[in-house]
C-alpha cells in the first residue's frame, strides 16, 4: 500500500527526487571499504560498527576486524575476550557481543544470513535499523533505513517540526522513508540518503547549493532549524579511582556481568573503608549515557592485607587486555 503523507511531495516529485539522488550518489559517494564488497558478513560488521560511530573511526577497526575474524565461522569460534579486545576503543561494547552472538546463531543455522526481514529481526542484535540496512544493502530487500542522517534529511525536505525524540515522530518518519524508498534499488537509495546526510545535509552549514534535492526541499531556507529534538539535560558526576601499585604492577579489576563495561578491565573505585588515599595523579573527563563524569585518579594503598579479587597487571599486560576507554587513558598516563 502506498502511504500518502499530507506533507510529502506528490509521487511524481518523489520519483524525480529519487532519480536525482541516485545520480548524485553514483558520482559523489565516498570510496569506503565496506562498499567494495558484496559479502553479507562484511556488510554486517560495518553496520554494527557504524551504529553511533563515525566513518573515519570505523575504517581501521573494520579492516583489522576482517583480518582477525574474516568469516562468520571464525568469529563464532572466537573467545569473548578476543572479540572485546578487537572492539576496544569503539565503545558501546554491546554491539561487539551482539555481533558475536549473531555469528554463533548464523553458524548454527547453516552459515548464511536469512533473506527476509522477519527472519533477520529474529536474530540476536538485529533491530529495525540493522535489518533494513543489512537487508537492503546485502540482499536488496525493500526496507527503508531510518538513522540520524536520514531523519535530518527528511525533516528538512518536508520542513517537519515534530520532535524526533518522540516515538510517534519516528513512526511518521519511517512511513515517509518507506514511501520515498526506491524499491527498484533499495541498496543504492538507502546508502545515498545516508551519504547525503553525512556529507551534504550536515547538521551545521548544510551545503544546499550542491544538494541534488535542493529544488524540492521545503526546509532549505531554515535548514539548521531541523530536526527539532528535545534533549534531556546531562547530569554531572564525579568519581575517584585508586591507583594501587605493587612493584611494576597496578591493581585492576575485570567488570562483572550486569554492569556497564561488563567484561572490560578498569582500575578500582577508591574505597575509604579499605584504602588509604595518597596524592592526586590525574583527572579525566568522559561521558556515559546521560552522565558527564569527571574521574579523579589518586594513588592509594590497602589498609589491611585483604586479598583482592582483581589482579596486579604490568603496563605491558594492560596493553593486551581490553580496558574501558577512560581507564585505558589512565593506563596510558601511567606509561608516561
Ligand atoms: Fe539538506 Fe539543504 Fe539538501 Fe535540503 S537542500 S536536503 S537542507 S542539503
Q: Is 220 in the pocket of ligand 1 (CB under 6 A)?
A: yes
Ligand 1 centroid from CA 222, angstroms: 10
Ligand 1 centroid from CA 37, angstroms: 29
Question: Which residue puts its alpha carbon closest to atom 2 of ligand 1?
Answer: 208
Cβ atoms of 80 and 166 closer than 8 Å: no
Closest CA to 101 of 118, 119, 78, 117: 78
Question: Which residue puts its alpha carbon closest to atom 5 of ligand 1?
Answer: 214
Q: What is the mean pLDDT of residues 18-32?
A: 97
pLDDT digits (tens, 9 = 90+) for 165-192: 999 999 999 999 999 999 999 999 999 9
Cis bond before residue 227 (omega within 30° of 0):
yes
pLDDT digits (tens, 9 = 90+) for 84-140: 999 999 988 999 999 999 999 999 999 999 999 999 999 999 999 999 999 999 999
Cβ atoms of 279 and 298 closer than 8 Å: yes
Q: Is 21 in the pocket of ligand 1 (CB under 6 A)?
A: no
Phi-psi bin for 214: left (phi > 0), alpha (psi -120 to 50), beta?
Answer: alpha
Q: Is 206 in the pocket of ligand 1 (CB under 6 A)?
A: yes
pTM above 0.85? no
The Cα–Cα gap between 215 and 217 comes to 6
pLDDT for res 331: 96
The Cα–Cα gap between 146 and 190 comes to 9
Active-site residue, 47 included: yes
| DSSP-derived pairing of the beta strands 291-302 and 235-243 | parallel
Q: Is 263 in the pocket of ligand 1 (CB under 6 A)?
A: no
Ligand 1 centroid from CA 157, angstroms: 7
pLDDT for res 104: 98
The Cα–Cα gap between 109 and 122 comes to 12
Amino acid at each position: 500500500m502506498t502511504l500518502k503523507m499530507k506533507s510529502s511531495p506528490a509521487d511524481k516529485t518523489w520519483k524525480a527526487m529519487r532519480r536525482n539522488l541516485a545520480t548524485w550518489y553514483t558520482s559523489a559517494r565516498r570510496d569506503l571499504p565496506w562498499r567494495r564488497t558484496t559479502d553479507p558478513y562484511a556488510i554486517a560488521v560495518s553496520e554494527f560498527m557504524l551504529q553511533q560511530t563515525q566513518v573515519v573511526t570505523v575504517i581501521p577497526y573494520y579492516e583489522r576486524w576482517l583480518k582477525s575474524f574474516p568469516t562468520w565461522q571464525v568469529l563464532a569460534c572466537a573467545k569473548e575476550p578476543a572479540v572485546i579486545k578487537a572492539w576496544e576503543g569503539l565503545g558501546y561494547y554491546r554491539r561487539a557481543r551482539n555481533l558475536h552472538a549473531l555469528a554463533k546463531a548464523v553458524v548454527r543455522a547453516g552459515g548464511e544470513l536469512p533473506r527476509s526481514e522477519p527472519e533477520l529481526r529474529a536474530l540476536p542484535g538485529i533491530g529495525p535499523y540493522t535489518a533494513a540496512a543489512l537487508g537492503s544493502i546485502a540482499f536488496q530487500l525493500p526496507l527503508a533505513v531510518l538513522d540520524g542522517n536520514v531523519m535530518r534529511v527528511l525533516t528538512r525536505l518536508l520542513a517537519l517540526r515534530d520532535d524526533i525524540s518522540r516515538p510517534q515522530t519516528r513512526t511518521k518518519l519511517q512511513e515517509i522513508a518507506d514511501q520515498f524508498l526506491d524499491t527498484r534499488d533499495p541498496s543504492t537509495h538507502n546508502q545515498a540518503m545516508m551519504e547525503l546526510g553525512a556529507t551534504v545535509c550536515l547538521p551545521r552549514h548544510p551545503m544546499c547549493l550542491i544538494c541534488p534535492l535542493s529544488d524540492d526541499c521545503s526546509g532549505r531556507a531554515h535548514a539548521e532549524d531541523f530536526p527539532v529534538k528535545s534533549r534531556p539535560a546531562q547530569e554531572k558526576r564525579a568519581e575517584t579511582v585508586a591507583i594501587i601499585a605493587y612493584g611494576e604492577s597496578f591493581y585492576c579489576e575485570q567488570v562483572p556481568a550486569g554492569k556497564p563495561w561488563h567484561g572490560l578491565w578498569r582500575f578500582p573505585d577508591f574505597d575509604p573503608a579499605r584504602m588509604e588515599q595518597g596524592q592526586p595523579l590525574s583527572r579525566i573527563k568522559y561521558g556515559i549515557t546521560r552522565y558527564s563524569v569527571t574521574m579523579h585518579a589518586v594513588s592509594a594503598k590497602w589498609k589491611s592485607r585483604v586479598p583482592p579479587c582483581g589482579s596486579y597487571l604490568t603496563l605491558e599486560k594492560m596493553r593486551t587486555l581490553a580496558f574501558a576507554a577512560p581507564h585505558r587513558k589512565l593506563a596510558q598516563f601511567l606509561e608516561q
